[in-house]
Amino acid sequence: MTHLILFMQFFKYGLLCLGGGYMIIPLLYEDFVAQTEFFTPAQFGNLLAISQMTPGAVSINAATYIGYMQGQVLDAVIASIGLAMPTFILAIIALSFFKKHKNSTFVAGFFKGARWAAFVMVLSAVVLFANMSVFSQPVSLDSLRSFSLKYPELGVAIMSAVIYYRGHLSMMQLLVLAFAIGFGVSFI
């Protein structure tokens, strides 16, 4: 029974990831940090950082990790299959009439909306991660006037944004570099 619930939960996330895997971040945050407090915000951030650093799709990695924490290997498999299932079904349906309806108004409108949502979700992920790293206390609408920054982290964030935007280093190299800086700084 718990397996079925887990499957349905990740199936739901899969359905809602309309604009790509990044959209899962606010959804997971809402369910596992804000409501159930299964993770602290920092642990959640670490989880996603690990999913980002390991090979493979980020959202599938996160689903596997959370599934494993719910139980064991079986739950991990169930969670990631549950997440991939809606995409699989939708894509198989879409492929059979993709060519015909590529330019239909309905399809165009649907994906326009999905991409707006994806953009807002990525923005929200930026805020979530900034709260976990750059700001020393989570910033919300009420505490907008009294925020305090952690400058070393802010420096790393800006540096990695610029380097990644220009394409000098790959994501993996950047993350390893950040880990090395952090590890080194912690001894000072």
Partner 1 sequence: MLKNRYRSETNILFLIFKTFFKIALFVVGGGLAMIPVIEDTFVRKYKLLKSDDIVDMVAMTQTIPGLIAVNSAIFVGHRLCGWKGSVVATIGVLIPSICILCLIAAFFPLLSMENPHILAAFSYIRACVTGIFCCVAVRLGKKILSTHRDFLIVGLLILGMLYGINIILLIVLSVLMGLVSAYKQQKEATKTENRS
**According to CB under 8 A, which residues from 147 to 176 bind partner 1?**
152-154, 156-162, 164-165, 170-172, 174-175
Torsional class of 55: left (φ above 0), alpha (ψ -120 to 50), beta (otherwise): beta
Closest to 107 (Cα-Cα) out of 93, 122, 119, 118: 93
149 pairs with which residues across the strands? 135
Among 1, 37, 100, 141, contact with partner 1 (rule: CB under 8 A): 141
Contact pick of 3, 68, 139, 147 for partner 1 (by CB under 8 A): 68
In the complex, the smallest distance separating the C-beta of residue 180 from partner 1, rounded to whole angstroms, is 8
Q: What is the C-alpha to C-alpha distance for residues 61 and 54, in angstroms, rounded to an integer?
A: 8
Token couple for 92: 């198989």
Q: Is 2 an interacting residue with respect to partner 1 (CB under 8 A)?
A: no
**Should residue 102 be labelled a site residue for partner 1 when binding is judged by CB under 8 A?**
yes
Residue whose CB is less far from partner 1, 2 or 54: 54
Q: Could you count the other beta carbons within 10 Å of the beta carbon of residue 4?
A: 10
Q: Does residue 139 belong to the site contacting partner 1 (CB under 8 A)?
A: no
Contact pick of 8, 56, 143, 168 for partner 1 (by CB under 8 A): 56
